[in-house]
Amino acid sequence: MADASSVEKNASVTPTIVVDDEKELARMGYKQELKRDLTLLQNFGVSFSIISVITGVPSLFLYGLNTGGPAVMVWGFVVVSFFTILVGLAMGEVCSAHPTSGGPYFWAAMLSEPKNAPLASWVTGWFNLLGQVAVTTGISFAAANFISTLATFNTNFVPEPRITIGIYAGVLICQGLINTFGVHLLKYINNVSIWWHAVGTTAVVISILAAAPSHQSAKFVFRTFIDNTGVDGVGWSERASPAYVVVIGILMAQYTLTGFDGSAHMTEETHNAAMAGSVGIIMAIGVSAVLGWFLILGLLFSIQDLDGTVNSATGQPVAQIFLDTVGEKGAIVLMVIVIGAMFFCGVFSVTSNSRMMYAFARDGGFPGHRLFRKVNPRTQSPVRTVWLACTLSFILGLPSLGSSVAFSAATSIATIGLYISYGIPIALRVVYRKRFKRGPFHLGPFSYPVAITACVWILFISVAFILPQANPVDTQTLNYAIVAVGIVIVYSLGFWLISARKWFIGPIKQIQADEMSIDATDSEKDTKAAQVSVEQKA
């Protein structure tokens, strides 16, 4: 992070770059409606803040300890980081060619055969929307859980699901208000968030390692396998195999390294977007991978009593580690650092979420699109989709009132939804590679093998994270990720066959629609009139 000032300096904007960005957006058929004032550093900061290792790792630390233990947490994070960087490289290449806030669903249309472009765009958009909503749910619900845990320190407060849901609603409202009235401050909040995450994570690790009365052995951290997936004592390693536990155990790592499409969704607000969006994606993954592994090692080495940590009265192993190492007062400080990071993470998740919904609504992609495609003229931001994002995220968090595994299921939904939406355009780029026109960022001869490997990995995790996580499976332990993913598949394909195929044409060239003086999504007739052939788009 020491080079942040130089990055900022190098990202300084000239009038020529501004004009080029607007020309590139116009080439893709869109007007410059959003305020373009983000630099490379700030674009990176959005994805870095959404990935937020100090959110993802503590959120699923208990899940990781029970599902594979330290060995799977440590080495799983290394393996997941490697493949996630490949996904990011493949995405960065596509983002450079098509830097628009629509992100994956726009890319899918541009990379498909013309006759299949609307369907590819439709399905990708719905999976991206599902993932965006679910990741906001996971982030903000984790913040609510940690606030509830902090409230138990030196008090008689006992967290209950209904109270946590209330705190969760309050967190979402605050994040929505910042994205509504503080949009002009987002770039400054972004800068604070970058340093909060980097310095805060480092401070947490150094504090607990330095203050810990004793440290776990290297054997414990790097080689200990634990299977506590059995509700009745019989875990998946016994019922199935240890390999099954390893596969479902990498959820902590993969969920943590999720959300880097935020850089793509912010490209219409970023200078030199064709390069900055791609570099922002890859930088965010790389820095987060190093920082995340550092955090996991620090927490594992600092565990004082494994059983006491797993079965902590606080309900959060990370909070127990803080209490056991730095004492109650120190733990309060470290919890504030973690909660602050989670809040920043949620703010920018709502930002990214709302931009994706705005772009999808702009192209008529979901019910009520005429309402949600509007941009507030004063703030130059999509305020309506900000509150749509908050509302849907709150609804997705409600199952936690009656399920013991609801949170891990929500993180599975986020991971599957987002990665499928990443994988579709990458796969199309492989299948129709001769149609692909590179942007300024490209991988040269490595492009094809990197993209293929990324697709295989995404297919693997999409299956792995709908598998049962606790044994036996019942109404309390069901991984309802498969239900949410199934609903999106049935809805998107069913609605497509029944209705959407007759009127949804994929990304609409806004500029040409305006020139023809029509509303490009008012009717099937007008939609077809506004359409520019996908051959011309591509």
Cβ(95)–Cβ(277) under 8 Å?
yes
Q: What is the mean pLDDT of residues 192-221?
A: 95
* pLDDT attached to residue 170: 96
Render pLDDT for 326-339 as a digit per residue (tens, 0 to 9).
999 999 999 999 99
Q: What is the mean pLDDT of residues 258-269?
A: 84
Q: What is the mean pLDDT of residues 521-533?
A: 43
* pLDDT attached to residue 16: 54
pLDDT band at 221 (very low <50, low <70, confident <90, very high): very high
DSSP state for residue 230 in the 8-state scheme: B
* pLDDT attached to residue 476: 73
Render pLDDT for 347-384 as a digit per residue (tens, 0 to 9).
988 988 888 888 888 888 877 778 888 888 887 788 89
Give the percent of the chain with pLDDT over 70: 89
The answer to whether residue 404 scores a pLDDT higher than 70 is no
The SS3 call for residue 241 is coil
Interatomic CA distance for residues 427 and 516, integer angstroms:
35
* pLDDT attached to residue 510: 53
* pLDDT attached to residue 18: 56
Structure tokens at 441: 């960022």
The answer to whether residue 526 scores a pLDDT higher than 60 is no
- Which residue has better confidence, 255 or 33? 255
Closest CA to 454 of 47, 82, 185: 82
Query: What is the residue-wise DSSP string for 99-143?
Result: --TTTHHHHHHHHS-GGGHHHHHHHHHHHHHHHHHHHHHHHHHHH
473: left (phi over 0), alpha (psi -120 to 50) or beta: beta
Render pLDDT for 493-512 as a digit per residue (tens, 0 to 9).
998 999 888 888 887 665 55
- Which residue has better confidence, 521 or 499? 499
4-18, 64-78, 247-261: least confident range: 4-18
- Which residue has better confidence, 273 or 204? 204
Give CATH superfamily name and number for 36-533. Amino acid/polyamine transporter I (1.20.1740.10)
Q: Which residues contact 238 (CB under 8 A, 6 or more apart)?
A: 227, 230
* pLDDT attached to residue 368: 78
The answer to whether residue 155 scores a pLDDT higher than 80 is yes
DSSP state for residue 267 in the 8-state scheme: G
DSSP state for residue 311 in the 8-state scheme: T
Cβ(309)–Cβ(317) under 8 Å?
yes
Structure tokens at 469: 């996580």
Interatomic CA distance for residues 296 and 16, integer angstroms:
44
Question: What pTM value is reported for the model?
Answer: 0.85
Q: What ranges do the domains of the chain cover?
A: 36-533
The SS3 call for residue 323 is helix
Give the percent of the chain with pLDDT over 90: 46
Return the residue matching tokens 């060995």: 71
Closest CA to 340 of 196, 201, 528, 211: 196
The SS3 call for residue 434 is helix
The residue type of 59 is: S
Cβ(424)–Cβ(90) under 8 Å?
no
159-163, 232-236, 248-252, 398-402: least confident range: 398-402
The answer to whether residue 438 scores a pLDDT higher than 60 is yes
